Structure 1
Amino acid sequence: MGLSDDVAGAEQGALLGVDDVAAPSGARRRKAALGAQEVAAELPVARVLLDLQPAHLDREYDYLVPASMAAGVVPGARVRARFGAQEVDGFVVARLAESDHDGRLLPLKRLVSAEPVLTPAVLRLVRAVAAHWAGTTADVLRLAVPPRHARTEKEQVAPPVPDAVQETIPETARGTALDAVPGAVPDAVPDAVPDAVPGVVPGTVPGTVLGAAPEAWAGVWGVYRGGDAFLRHVGAGGAPKAVWTPLPGLAPAVEAGAVPTLPHWAVAAATAVRAAVGAGRGALVVVPDARDAGRVTAALDAAGMPGVVRLLAEDGAAPRYRAFLAAARGHARVVVGTRAAMFAPVADLGLVVLWGDGEDTLAEPHAPYPHARDLLALRSDLEQAAFLLGSPGRTVQAQALLAAGWAHEIAAPRDVLRARAPRVRALTSIELAAEGPGAGARIPTAAWRAARDALGHGPVLVQVPRTGYLPVVACERCRTPATCQACHGPLALGAQTAAPQCRWCGRLATGWRCTECGSGALRAVRVGSERTAEELGRAFPGVPVRVSASTAPGGILDRVPARPALVVATPGAEPVADGGYATALLLDAASATTSLGLDAGTRALHRWLAAAHLVRPAGSGGQVLLVGDAAPAPTGALVRFDPATFADRELSERAELHLPPAVRVAAVTGERTAVAAVVSRVALAGPDTTLGPVDVPPEPPRFGPGARGDHGAAPTGDASLFDDVPVRVLIRVPAADGAELSRQLRASLAVRSARREPGTLRAQLDPEELL
């Protein structure tokens, strides 16, 4: 495929050389000299996707296949090719008999690996993601296919090549392209969840014979409205879409007399996966962190599920690539992983499960910044797979899927929920008015008494919003926030006697003085997990205190025994207690709902409910105490254990105010002149749809791999790296025009790249901070 006319003169000349060979036409020139090499006799042209960052070069290119590489250059293989003065990595997407480019073609420089790691389904997904989020194919490919690990690739014995792969070999399938997947991409029409599926007996799964599920887990979906119907539809090979609010608590123990240790949601997800595999299809489960992946894997193991692999980026290059290859080669029918598994090449994908879409870790921080929820929903449509979104809370985006009719709701009746949920009390200032002086304490007297009584029956969970000791401090006299004199980042205290330290640049602020009043004394604004553990140790002498947080000496705990103990954890780091917690204290509730984001309420409710799901039912004495004057709406939703109603209310308000997800938003951030140039070429960016430009306040800078923003932008939080103060422009259009907004923005960025316009810039669709 040749270059377009607007850049051909600038770029095509760099592709030509004195030894280049003209593109074959028809049956002519089946063999042509390439110095000492020859062109492949059959299908001598390879169409390649190159790893090129500039947006205007985001297309496929044709190269000649040397005869020495003919057997290994198959669709999906890694190659290197010359582009201008450099060699560039790429993936083969097709082998062709001839090229539609009129000029001369270069030969491929090297076959990196003949392993077909880019499957047809994943390639279609990569292209769809790039189009939906206005990104480049190269950016998405970096997310989809992990870096090659040669030793791992060689240590596994490849299985017999299936027919679908055999057809890509030149001798048996001339002109086969990687994206030639049978069937057209269907419209995003919701699948009805039937009351019964012909030929499927309730409680059974057709297809592959698997080990019997634990008897204690039988009927796990029967307690939900629509649960059995969803499972039967999946077991029949259908593709229903559902948003699921699971019941709180732990699942029954597999062995008689054992203490339950697996969350109910993990067992239910494993049961759904078993139904998909029983129908002869594959399954993908994406969770927020490695601990959740371990719980799902344990549930699958207990259910006798074979062919399960874990795909986690934090495991390292070799284990991640090993799991990726197991899926690509068909050794694994089920992949369980974190955000890194979103693109896992599961063969014949029949079910996609996403757990906890309200967690920050499911938002991709690298361009083009897709969220796992939206990406997996897109994938379920492309591959006609069932979709199951489960979460203790309910995001507004998940509620929008229900409101649009794309998905159906699965939830338990209220009487079943009341029997399984703990008792919830909100210890607000009004509730504690009769407590006297103890009502003003961070842990009021009522919460202290509840924790003391519960410790006689088991562990007590204490959730705090922040890690560290005193993560936010201010001037003791005038209450001005304490900031670093070098980078203006917030100061924190790591211990009672430690010097203040900047949370951004790490500099010690010894001798700090307030710029407003000159005082050198500091006071706590936010209290972290370590200071909380210190306070609880003094309040409960003789009781073990364990800290589960990323900054804790022991890190994040996965599990704690049923013995009495105080477990201090940050949101998302709560360990599972054997048999469940006796009580949970949710501290600093007011600070959880005071952030400026649109999702402050739903995010706080999600974190509270995630902790409440680990507490014993009210019938067994379990209770949850919310401490602080949080916003009334999420507080009421927690007390009622009703995230669905709260999310529906939030969605209605956003629709009235024309806020996401009722509209689609593109944020263009960077130097003022660069932003103005890009926005001016977007036809949808009119006076009624454009907000800004406004100055962007500084944020913590990001360092390390992936720190640079899209299209050559500097790290987004460090304003000093821009030539002037960065600005942001928002383009807000109706949801129906979202695809057109992405197309126009993508085209404008390509023009910017081709013209080499100056300035740094980042463009992002559906920015997480605005959702």
Structure 2
Amino acid sequence: MTKDGGGAELIPGLDDLPRAPAGRANGAPSNASKTSDKAAGKGKKGARRPAEDLPVARVAVDMSLPHLDRPFDYLVPVELDARAVPGCRVRVRFAGQLVDGFLLERAAESDHEGRLSYLERVTSPEPVLTPEIAALAREVAGRYAGTFADVIRLAIPPRHARVEAEPVPEPVSEPSAEGGEGGVQAGVWAEYPAGASFLGALAAGRAPRAVWTALPGPDWAAAIARAVAVTLQAGRGALVVMADGRDVALVDAALKRELGEGRHVALTAEPGPAERYRRWLAVLRGTARAVVGTRAAMFAPVADLGFVVLWDDGDDVHAEPHAPYPHPREVLALRAHRTGAGALIGGFTRTTDATQLVESGWAHALAADRTRIREVMPRVRYVGEDAQLARDGAARTARLPNVAFEAARGALGDGPVLVQVPRRGYVPGIACGRCRTPAQCGACQGPLALSSSHAAPYCRWCGRIAGDWHCPECGFFQVRAMVVGAKRTAEELGRAFPGVPVRTSGKDAILERVGPERALVVSTPGAEPPAEGGYTAALLLDGWVLLGRPDLRAGEETLRRWMNAASLVRPAGPVVVSAEGSLPAVQALVRWDPVTYAERELAERREVGFPPAARMASLTASPAAIRELLADARLPDDAEVLGPVPVPVPQGAAEGQERERALIRVPRAAGPALARALKEAQGVRSARKATETVRVQIDPLELI
């Protein structure tokens, strides 16, 4: 660790980031506010006096201005000496205003030459910011060209005073270890050749790192729980991050079966802010040493962290929508590296980012052998096989071809059948019934849709009813469906299978589980409910909608959604996918071989210089702001600027406001230099009091 001019500790590798000058910057004091004689307390009755021991407090002020992204020194008054502990929340006077902050550390003296202001008050003596999370937040801010304050807002939940005042429960005693590496019970991990050795390394206190391709079926949650139990028995903590609350509930139940009650907590937004803060405090205070939660749990202050898990890292729900937009895969990898913890990145499929970790040597592949995979995988067929076309010439173009109809009819006798539809709603896109011109709103030019068979068209953007719509090209008044949604599909299947219950699961109402009785379950991707005993068959409709998206990750994301749905089907159960059989994603699904597909996809991206083979930054703002930022940025010599190009103006923006997007591409090794350059440029614009903020995203999820 090194020291900056104000005596604050810096993370190695980040000490050359821009720092505020010694004088005043942007109306704010540098390193500490200068106080008046009254605040200094010389010769005044009842004046504040600094604490005798370690009177200087280094405070991270809750300010997101890039040029002020550094600690500031304040004096600790004697009346706050006992409460002002490192990691606590404080209130300080900054640029004439009272602002929140976190006390990072206390020191004997300050390098600041002027007078120092006193802490105004200690909001709470609870040390909510641990040294490990503070160092991690500083590194994440540097990795994503963001500020420490923005990362801390994501890492530490809002305070609830009543919860803090509650008595601290006694921690549940840990069970004795199973006897080291040789005595670990593998459980579900016995299905994988390297599974027992992976658990053995965790039991021995080592730090194994693996990219796990899980077998289809419901046992993945039990496998995670077994690995967490082994870690806790070795005397270390564990952290599991899931994509959504339903996956958290599955792992939570598995952990209760494996660990018993009271030895872990689930961190989600569902219980409410107070209960979430109560559980977060249990982790902070060491009452619970295992955590399972959604995206925000990646910063959970687990003591003596020994194991981190990320499930389904390709799910776009993992993408953080708030600055600086960190991804749990990167954050957990940083935590594992910093703390010497083991890491497991798993899913039914494999992303190119995870494949990059394997090829770099950071992690090892963990998968079952092909013989076992063939025993448990479903039987996948695609529409358009030669034998099908010989019997049914319309099979290639029919939305529900005969092979899918027969598979569903035969499987319904044994239990439920899953039908995956890429679009929610009834008919999310319509067009002219004569010339096929897409129907658009006359007010905002948004796409028109239908909510039911008897409803008038409405705009999906502004909600206006377009009952008098007619085609601007040919004047025709009738419309046809361009894309069919889940509700319309359920309606069609109800007519095709009379007497069979049809249930839907999507954004409006997600089913938690379905029973073993016969039923058709129509679901959008990601909302598929598990079935008791597994589905007897699955129909993956409208594959062209997923594969035809203008997205670099279209094929990878389509395969992930297909395999997640197909993994809910019983072994050897039929799965019919409506897509061209020659496509690589379809072939990977048929063979149940996501690893080869991911390796091929990564090799192709390496040839053309796309992530994750290269590092990219996205700049979004007005044309003038982007030009100004690029002019100020000292980009690496091998940086390549792509664009800027116009992008759609977000809803609610001022009329006539232009927005553009520029991409900056560098080799992977130049990623840290790119982040530093962009953060420096942001700091220069912030010091100039630029009126517009440029949105900077490192390695954005969408590039097109």
TM-score (norm 2): 0.92
Give per-residue Cα distances to partners, 1:274-311, cap 9 Å, x unaligned: 11111100000101111111111111111134511000
Contact 1:685 1:731 in 2 (8 A): no
Letter in 2 for 1:397: D
**1:625 aligns to 2:579 (yes or no):** no
TM-score (norm 1): 0.84
Contact 1:270 1:299 in 2 (8 A): yes
Aligned residue pair count = 679
Contact 2:382 2:581 in 1 (8 A): no
Counterpart in 2 of 1:124?
Answer: 135
Q: Write the distance in 1 (CA, Å) between the matches of 2:491 and 2:625.
A: 50
Q: Write the distance in 2 (CA, Å) between the matches of 1:737 and 1:268.
A: 37
Counterpart in 1 of 2:258?
Answer: 303
Give per-residue Cα distances to partners, 1:222-252, cap 9 Å, x unaligned: 2213211111001111111100001112xxx
Q: Percent identity?
A: 53
Report the alpha carbon displacement of residue 326 of structure 1 after superposing the two structures with TM. Answer: 0.8
Equivalent runs, 1:532-543 vs 2, <5 Å: 532-543=489-500
Equivalent runs, 1:156-175 vs 2, <5 Å: 156-157=167-168
Q: Write the distance in 2 (CA, Å) between the matches of 1:120 and 1:329.
A: 14
Q: Write the distance in 1 (CA, Å) between the matches of 2:641 and 2:299.
A: 34
**1:228 aligns to 2:196 (yes or no):** yes
Letter in 2 for 1:39: P
Contact 1:591 1:630 in 2 (8 A): no
Counterpart in 2 of 1:293?
Answer: 248
Contact 2:422 2:485 in 1 (8 A): yes
Equivalent runs, 1:650-661 vs 2, <5 Å: 650-661=601-612
Residues 80 and 637 from structure 1, CA distance in 2 versus in 1: closer, same or farther, beyond 3 angstroms? Answer: same
Q: Write the distance in 2 (CA, Å) between the matches of 1:5 and 1:573.
A: 52
Residues 465 and 341 from structure 1, CA distance in 2 versus in 1: closer, same or farther, beyond 3 angstroms? Answer: same
Q: CA RMSD in A?
A: 2.4
Q: Select which of 316, 322, 333 maps to 2:278.
A: 322
Letter in 2 for 1:361: V
**1:204 aligns to 2:184 (yes or no):** yes
**1:587 aligns to 2:544 (yes or no):** no
Q: Write the distance in 1 (CA, Å) between the matches of 2:548 and 2:23.
A: 50
Letter in 2 for 1:734: P
Q: Write the distance in 2 (CA, Å) between the matches of 1:156 and 1:504.
A: 50
Report the alpha carbon displacement of residue 43 of structure 1 after superposing the two structures with TM. Answer: 1.7
Report the alpha carbon displacement of residue 436 of structure 1 after superposing the two structures with TM. Answer: 3.3
Give per-residue Cα distances to partners, 1:626-679, cap 9 Å, x unaligned: 123377000000000000000000000011111111111011111111101111
Q: Write the distance in 1 (CA, Å) between the matches of 2:683 and 2:297.
A: 29
Match of 2:615, SS? Answer: strand
Q: Select which of 250, 260, 282 maps to 2:237.
A: 282
Counterpart in 2 of 1:510?
Answer: 467
Contact 2:28 2:94 in 1 (8 A): no
Residues 627 and 4 from structure 1, CA distance in 2 versus in 1: closer, same or farther, beyond 3 angstroms? Answer: closer
**1:562 aligns to 2:516 (yes or no):** yes
Match of 1:424, SS? Answer: strand
Q: Write the distance in 1 (CA, Å) between the matches of 2:565 and 2:432.
A: 33
Counterpart in 2 of 1:11?
Answer: 27
Q: Write the distance in 2 (CA, Å) between the matches of 1:110 and 1:630.
A: 67
Q: Write the distance in 2 (CA, Å) between the matches of 1:353 and 1:32.
A: 59
Counterpart in 2 of 1:472?
Answer: 429
Stretches of structure 1 lacking an aligned partner (at least 5 in a row):
23-28, 161-197, 206-217, 250-262, 699-716
Match of 1:244, SS? Answer: strand
Residues 517 and 70 from structure 1, CA distance in 2 versus in 1: closer, same or farther, beyond 3 angstroms? Answer: farther
Report the alpha carbon displacement of residue 686 of structure 1 after superposing the two structures with TM. Answer: 6.2
Counterpart in 2 of 1:373?
Answer: 329
Match of 2:575, SS? Answer: strand
Equivalent runs, 1:331-730 vs 2, <5 Å: 331-428=287-384, 432-436=388-392, 439=395, 440-551=397-508, 555-618=509-572, 622-629=573-580, 632-684=583-635, 689-698=640-649, 717-718=650-651, 720-721=653-654, 724-730=657-663
Report the alpha carbon displacement of residue 505 of structure 1 after superposing the two structures with TM. Answer: 3.0
Report the alpha carbon displacement of residue 429 of structure 1 after superposing the two structures with TM. Answer: 6.7
Residues 431 and 406 from structure 1, CA distance in 2 versus in 1: closer, same or farther, beyond 3 angstroms? Answer: farther
Give per-residue Cα distances to partners, 1:549-578, cap 9 Å, x unaligned: 112xxx111211111111111111111111
**1:103 aligns to 2:103 (yes or no):** no
Give per-residue Cα distances to partners, 1:715-735, cap 9 Å, x unaligned: xx3484386421111110000
Stretches of structure 2 lacking an aligned partner (at least 5 in a row):
7-18, 172-177
Q: Write the distance in 1 (CA, Å) between the matches of 2:674 and 2:44.
A: 47
Give per-residue Cα distances to partners, 1:744-764, cap 9 Å, x unaligned: 110100001001224342111
Contact 1:308 1:335 in 2 (8 A): yes
Contact 2:282 2:288 in 1 (8 A): yes
Counterpart in 2 of 1:731?
Answer: 664
Give per-residue Cα distances to partners, 1:196-235, cap 9 Å, x unaligned: xx97353427xxxxxxxxxxxx531122132111110011
Match of 1:221, SS? Answer: helix
Give per-residue Cα distances to partners, 1:505-551, cap 9 Å, x unaligned: 33333323334334333221221111111111111111111111112
Q: Write the distance in 2 (CA, Å) between the matches of 1:406 and 1:137.
A: 27
Contact 2:306 2:341 in 1 (8 A): yes
Match of 1:16, SS? Answer: coil
Q: Write the distance in 1 (CA, Å) between the matches of 2:192 and 2:73.
A: 54
Give per-residue Cα distances to partners, 1:98-142, cap 9 Å, x unaligned: 211111111112211111111111111111110000001111111
